[in-house]
Amino acid sequence: MSIDLQILRNPFQSHQPKFHVKTESELQAERQAVRANLISNSNFTLISEVFEAIRSIRDPEHPYTLEQLDVFTESDIEIKQIGNKKNITVYWKPSMPQCTYTVHIGLAIRMKIEREVKDFDNMKVTILVKEGTHKHKKLIDKQLNDKERIAAAKENESLKDLLESLIS
């Protein structure tokens, strides 16, 4: 039986993730490059609108936005026209594979899109964790896209307060 002596010495030690926080100049350069590739996409305006709505969401554990933490870029947003509805899919990656706030962040993404994207009633939104970026991806995707679970989350007062703090 192997025991991690480091944990025994300090069982309350935080296991902070190591991540690169992008500077504003890095973010601007990345946005310009992505937009240059998307400009030929007929849904470029809607992709930009969705990205602008969600890029300022704050991470609940770190003093940075999701954009700064490289959680998603404009190229992670897909728009497909199906009948009279536009299907918006946002692919994103949690800041670490065992992130405990993944569902909260996903709900915040959904709330911002619902509030800020024009003509939302004619759209279907799907929020998906990128493959291989979280150990509970399938469960989280199911929670974030189930109408009943979303409705229940919107009625939970303490959860609403947390989500408001992330998006305001």
Neighbouring C-beta atoms of residue 1, cutoff 10 Å = 2
pLDDT at 13: 42
**Model confidence band, residue 11 (pLDDT cutoffs 50, 70, 90):** very low
More confident: 109 or 24: 109
pLDDT at 1: 39
Q: Tens digit of pLDDT for each residue in 39-84?
A: 556 688 899 999 999 999 999 998 999 999 999 999 999 999 888 8
Cβ 111 vs Cβ 163: under 8 Å:
yes
Backbone angles phi, psi at 123, to 5 degrees: -135, 155
pLDDT at 8: 37
Cβ 111 vs Cβ 94: under 8 Å:
no
Question: What contacts 87, CB < 8 A, 6 or more positions away?
Answer: 78, 79, 80, 81, 123, 124, 126
